[in-house]
Amino acid sequence: MNEHHITLPEGSIEKHTTTLNLGPTHPATHGVFQNIMELDGERVVSSEQTVGYIHRAFEKIAERRPLYQITPLTDRLNYCSSPINNMGWHLTCEKLLGVKTPKRVDYLRVIIMELSRIADHLICNSIVGVDSGAFTGFLYVMQYRELIYEIFEEVCGSRLTTNIGRIGGFERNFSNTAFTKLEKFLKEYPVALGELESLLKRNRIFMDRTIGGGPISAERALNYGFTGPNLRAAGVDYDVRVHSPYSSYEDFEFTIPVGTTGDNYDRFLVRQEEMWQSMHIIKQAYQKIQEFKGEEAEVYHANVPEYYLPKKEDVYTKMEALIWHFKIIMGEVDMPKGEVYHSVEGGNGELGFYLISDGGRSPFRLHFRRPCFIYYQAYPEMVKGSMLSDAILTMSSLNLIAGEMDA
């Protein structure tokens, strides 16, 4: 025995697989996820996910907060499309309170929600490009996310965690700048989206990388509780906007794209087509808004003085408005008793809010149905037997958002 002899740990010869700790902080996972993978060479034998690294106990916090103070919590679920979360929450409150919103408010909401859907999908799709080795497309579309954020900024004053809107509508009417920026977006974004599409859609390398990677059958996807683009890529045409229309989605013409195999390529195509459809919806909504004339064209909230915050000018100058502002902010208005489940089509699928009110000022129990959390369970099944690099691609094409998963 010479001095170069290496003593191997006991049992190491018998173990033929390598254990790889992917995450919690790894540049390829786009978020705080940990995956403990057993690899045979480059093939994934099994994987086990650990979630909860950014768990912030929103459901517990919400039990002590009045309605308006819960909106900022929903921002931080799927932070790529916060306005959908905000509006989903406001729609849930409106359902509980029995508030009926005017048509113009619905259409304005639809514009904002579809813009955020585009922002959400363009990130996901361009990141799929980046992870498969094509960085350029990401840069093409990224500047239009900036433009979307500028529109949000114009409407509500913030960009990423928007806290947009109020129960019954918006905090202020859309300014002319907002509409000008929207027109600019409608005109220019199709070009950039077309560029992204022509870079990747029929690209031999991209197709070889994505076709057949991370597939799931429609049956398994349903059993795993998939919703949103990931379910539609597997071939099920379930969309909350069509099945249970909210915010007047029934007034719009649009198609629901479906895939067949539920693999990475189908998910890419479904998201891509959904962006085109969202553009189509926004155009219709914008047209409908322009048809309002006179007083109707100025409506931006429903008449619900108990829950809609009074104007800031009035709060500073009038006693009555100041009192109401205080009462609403401090949550001194009791909610009606009841149990509501309301869901909206979020960026990743059915985002549900299950609210139990016991008649107090804050919810008795609030549960978020987070689509990400539910479909991430299928990940080991989807990547079993595939290459490690395809497993990474599957993770990004599922559009996993840590904030939504961990609530």
Partner 1 sequence: MAITNEYIQQNLTEKFGDAVYNFEENYGMLSFETLKENNLKVMQFLHDEPTLGFKFLTDLCGVNYPDNKDRELAVVYHLHNLQENVRIRFKVFTSVAHPDVFTASKLYAAADWMERETYDFFGVNFVGHSNLKRILNVDEMDYFPLRKEYPLEDQTRIDKDDEMFGRG
- Of 38, 59, 150, 334, which lies in the binding site for partner 1, with binding defined by CB under 8 A? 59
Q: Segment near partner 1 (CB under 8 A), from 26-34, 49-57, 108-116, 132-140?
A: 49-57
Residue 327 near partner 1 by CB under 8 A: no
Comparing CB distances to partner 1, the nearer of 45 and 222 is: 222
When the beta carbons of 87 and 96 are compared against partner 1, the nearer one is 96
Contact segment (CB under 8 A) with partner 1 among 207-215, 235-243, 254-262, 288-296 equals: 235-243
Q: CB under 8 A: which stretch of 16-24, 51-59, 132-140, 292-300 binds partner 1? A: 51-59
Among 15, 60, 100, 312, binds partner 1 (CB under 8 A): 60
Give per-residue burial for 298-325: e unless 16+ CB within 10 Å, then b. ebbbbebeebbbbeeeebeeeeebeebb
- For residue 354, give the 3-state DSSP assignment: strand
Task: Note whether 220 binds partner 1 by CB under 8 A.
Answer: yes
Beta strands in 330-387 (DSSP E): 338-345, 350-357, 365-369
CA-CA distance, 357 to 60, in Å (whole number)?
A: 14
Residue 13 backbone phi and psi in degrees, to 5: -75, -40
Residue 68 or 206: the one with the smaller Cβ distance to partner 1 is: 68
Residue 46, H or E segment: strand 43-50
**Torsion, CA 7, CA 9, CA 11, CA 17, rounded to 10:** -100
Q: Which stretch binds partner 1 (CB under 8 A): 102-110, 172-180, 182-190, 220-228?
A: 220-228
Taking Cα atoms as reference points, which of 249, 258, 256, 233 lies closest to residue 282?
249
* 61 lines the binding site for partner 1 (CB under 8 A): yes
Q: Count other Cβ atoms within 10 Å, centred on residue 158.
A: 14
From 173, 180, 157, 148, select the one nearest 347 (Cα to Cα).
Answer: 148
Q: How far is the CB of 315 from partner 1 (least distance, A)?
A: 25
Instruction: Tell me which residues touch partner 1 (CB under 8 A).
Output: 51-52, 55, 57, 59-61, 63-64, 95-96, 220, 222-225, 236, 238, 243-244, 338-341, 343, 350, 352, 354, 356, 364-365, 367, 369, 373-374, 376-378, 406-407
